[in-house]
Amino acid sequence: MLIDTHCHLDFDRFDDDRDAIVARATAAGVTRIIIPALDLQNSRTAQSLAERYEGVFTAVGVHPNSSAAWRDEWLGVLRDLAQHDKVVAIGEIGLDYHWDDSPKAVQHRALALQLELAAELALPVIIHNRESSADVIRLLRQSPLAGRENAGVLHSFSADWDTAVAALDMGFYLGFTGPITFKKADDLREIAAKVPLDRILVETDAPFLTPHPYRGKRNEPAYVAYVAEKLAAVRGMETAVLAQHTTQNALRLFSRMKEA
């Protein structure tokens, strides 16, 4: 049994065969899928899919690359959207310094305010971090989530060990995706081997970051099994045992999934 804690199932790349994709995920032992949001409209679309598929859940939030036009009144919209019974987190939120889609100051404000909203609603956060580790850690430390149990997850973790330790010390989990299966990802595998077993999540970030042996093709939630398999190998465990732990971790962090 596995949970794909980060899959953009709402993207149009899945429009032609979404039912089949969900069926393949189920056949592969994936019992739940979480769709992170990128903006307000995307949050609503994800909720519609969660209503359509029993094992699909969502987060709501504004991604850093969607934050250029940020308005503080969006918090009220997100607060309302988060009342949906299949919303399990605030996200995908964070910082992205790779793309130049939003000024850093705007990204910082959007992140800080959404972290406060998550704390208010007692929801975990799904954090996007691309080439922005120092500021992500700083803003997380300044937020009311710092030190809370089950604060959130740094999704598709790709930073260094110091960043991992800082996040773990604040109560965050680390999510691992397809790159852990890539030939040259020894540094990432070294980190994954050291993370406490009760703080690991498995993700696809589909349709992106497809794991070996399907690298270069469209990713899908069934492929989270390859991530789990590699993580288990790195840690010297049976895949079934790793899957059991990551599923328990996901249910602990995204506790609303237990209630649905």
For the chain, 260 residues long, the average pLDDT of each consecutive 10-residue run is 97 96 97 97 95 97 97 97 97 95 96 98 98 97 95 97 98 97 96 97 98 96 98 97 97 86
Residue 95 three-state SS: strand
Give me the helix-helix angle, 186-194 and 161-169, nearest 10°: 30
The pLDDT of residue 194 is 97
The pLDDT of residue 47 is 95
The pLDDT of residue 258 is 79
- Is the peptide bond prior to 92 cis by the omega test (within 30 degrees of 0)? yes
The pLDDT of residue 259 is 60
Integer Rg of the chain from CA: 17
Domain ranges of the chain: 2-259
The pLDDT of residue 100 is 84
- Is the peptide bond prior to 213 cis by the omega test (within 30 degrees of 0)? yes
> Largest alpha-carbon pair distance within the chain?
49
Which H or E element spans position 127?
A: strand 125-130
What is the token pair recorded at 147?
């030190």
Classified by CATH at the fold level, domain 2-259 comes out as TIM Barrel (3.20.20)
* Neighbouring C-beta atoms of residue 248, cutoff 10 Å: 14
The pLDDT of residue 260 is 55
Sheet holding 30-35, edge to edge: 2-4, 30-35, 56-60, 87-96, 125-130, 152-154, 172-176, 200-202
- Find the length of the chain: 260
